[in-house]
Amino acid sequence: MENTTTIYEFQLDDIIEALRITSNIFSVQPEYKHLNVQVKEASKFAEDVIGDNSRMEVIEIKISELDAIIEILKITSNIYNCSNGVTCHDRQVRQSLKYAENAKVGKKEERVKYM
């Protein structure tokens, strides 16, 4: 059986939204279209978990799927220099990445500011 962790539904919703925006941006930029496959895959992992647990407040997710989500959020952050927090997308990517990293180490309770 694969290792799992838990995350709050609202945190996963925010991650999905950040991935959707990233997918829309990548789809119109030829130099990043190849990454859009990874974005869509990470988004599908998250959406499938929400779909299976739509009424639960705390959601169980596979660590491997969370790793895929974390990786694409890091790539997005690096490409768009999200560390500056200039745009809403920057802040959403940073917040989503922190939610995912916290969940991976069992700290879903830790508060993450919108930065």
Helix, strand or coil, per DSSP, at residue 4? strand
What pLDDT does residue 4 have?
A: 93
Task: Please report the sign of the dihedral spanned by the C-alpha atoms of residue 84, residue 90, residue 96, residue 97.
Answer: negative
Write down the domain spans for the chain.
4-104
**Tens digits of per-residue pLDDT, 4-53?**
999 998 899 999 999 999 998 888 888 888 888 888 888 888 888 776 65
DSSP 114: -
Over residues 44-74, the pLDDT tens digits come to: 888 887 766 555 588 889 999 999 999 999 9
**What separation in angstroms does the CA of 6 have from each of 14, 20, 24, 66?**
15, 22, 28, 10
The pTM assigned to this predicted structure is 0.83
Half-sphere exposure in the Cβ direction for 7 (13 Å, CA): 30
